[in-house]
Structure 1
Amino acid sequence: MHVRKAVSSDAGELSALLNEIIRAGGTTALETPLSAAEFADWFIDGEFSLVCHVAEHGQSLMGFQSLSLYGDPPKGVADIGTFARLNPKTAGVGSALFPATRAAAKELEFINATIRADNVSGLGYYAKMGFETYDRLLQVPLQDGTPVDRIKKRFRLDARHHATPDAQGADGVIGKR
């Protein structure tokens, strides 16, 4: 599997990949399919997009991972989104993408992932990558009104990430404010 930065010409294939995930339901907070132009704006070259990487296998894009500033997160924080093709499903897409995303995020304090509580595979993936739970948003309604909690996880990029407890602040949080 080859990882590279996404380019605008990837938007058609990637929006189709994402729209299949949206239609399947149950894993993404996104509920409305995106056109290729909307996809490019949201994930590749829009105002809030920081970086988007794709995983290629042969001539196909197997998934993508993006960092964005959508929703005006605190300084030093960006949101991550990870999506892998449902058909054919290919193991290891997210694991292949994360090192490139992490390297691109080196100026950040931490990466935030907000995952639906019913997205068992997503929660497992982010835990495997080293993300730690720090908050929970209760009963966020889907478009049909169904309430679903959101789990907030973060990956610390601060050099003190692996510091001893003595280096932590009184609240147990390592890093700058």
Structure 2
Amino acid sequence: MHVRRAVAADAQELCGLLNEIIAAGGTTALETPLSAAEFADWFIDGEFPLVCHVAEHDRSLAGFQSLSLYGDPPKGYADIATFARMSPKISGVGRALFPATRAAAEELGLEFINATIRADNVSGIAYYTKMGFEPYDRLIQVPLLDGTPVDRIKKRFRIHSRPASSM
């Protein structure tokens, strides 16, 4: 698997990958399909994305991971989003992407990477736990478009351990 930065030309294929996940439901807070232009704006080259990496496998895009400032996170934080192709499913996409995302977060001078995960997204919670994210907050009963309340678990990854300050 090869990891590289996403470019605008990737938007159409990645949008299809994401829209398949949205249509399946149950793992993403996104509920409305995006156009390729919206995808590029949200994840690659719009106002809020900081970086987006793709994982290539057998000449196709197996998944992507982005860092963004969407939703005005606290200073020193960026939000992460990770999506892997559903069909055919390829193992290890998220694990392959995270080192590049983490390195980008370090270069950007971030203190934390935030993941906000639907409480019913068991695989997403497990993935972020394996990557070293720790829970720090929970949003209670955030309604889906159909009104169904679903909690959101907030986990964060500390980029660097801070040295103890001396007085």
Matched with 1:77 is: 77
Q: Given the two structures, how large is their TM-score scaled by the length of structure 2?
A: 0.96
Query: Is 1:131 aligned to 2:101, yes or no?
Result: no
Matched with 1:121 is: 123
Matches of 1:49 and 1:85, distance apart in 2: 21
Map 1:4-153 to 2 at 5 A: 4-106=4-106, 107-153=109-155
- Per-residue CA shift, 1:10-51, capped at 9, x if unaligned? 000000000000000000000000000000000000000000
Q: Given the two structures, how large is their TM-score scaled by the length of structure 1?
A: 0.90
* Greater shift in the superposed pair: 151-160 or 60-69: 151-160
Matches of 2:42 and 2:27, distance apart in 1: 18
1:59 Cα deviation (Å)?
A: 1.0
| Secondary structure in structure 2 of the residue aligned to 1:86 | coil
- Per-residue CA shift, 1:56-75, capped at 9, x if unaligned? 00210000000000011111
- Count how many residue pairs are aligned between Structure 1 and Structure 2: 163
1:159 Cα deviation (Å)?
A: 3.4
**Aligned-residue CA RMSD (Å):** 1.1
Matches of 1:116 and 1:83, distance apart in 2: 14
1:158 Cα deviation (Å)?
A: 2.2
Matches of 1:105 and 1:141, distance apart in 2: 31
Letter of the structure 2 residue corresponding to residue 8 of structure 1: A
**Structure 1 stretches lacking a partner, 5+ long:** 169-177
Letter of the structure 2 residue corresponding to residue 93 of structure 1: V
| Secondary structure in structure 2 of the residue aligned to 1:152 | strand
| Secondary structure in structure 2 of the residue aligned to 1:134 | strand
1:112 Cα deviation (Å)?
A: 0.2
Between the aligned residues of both structures, percent identity stands at 81
Query: Is 1:159 aligned to 2:165, yes or no?
Result: no
Letter of the structure 2 residue corresponding to residue 157 of structure 1: I
Matches of 1:159 and 1:116, distance apart in 2: 27
Letter of the structure 2 residue corresponding to residue 2 of structure 1: H
**Structure 2 stretches lacking a partner, 5+ long:** none
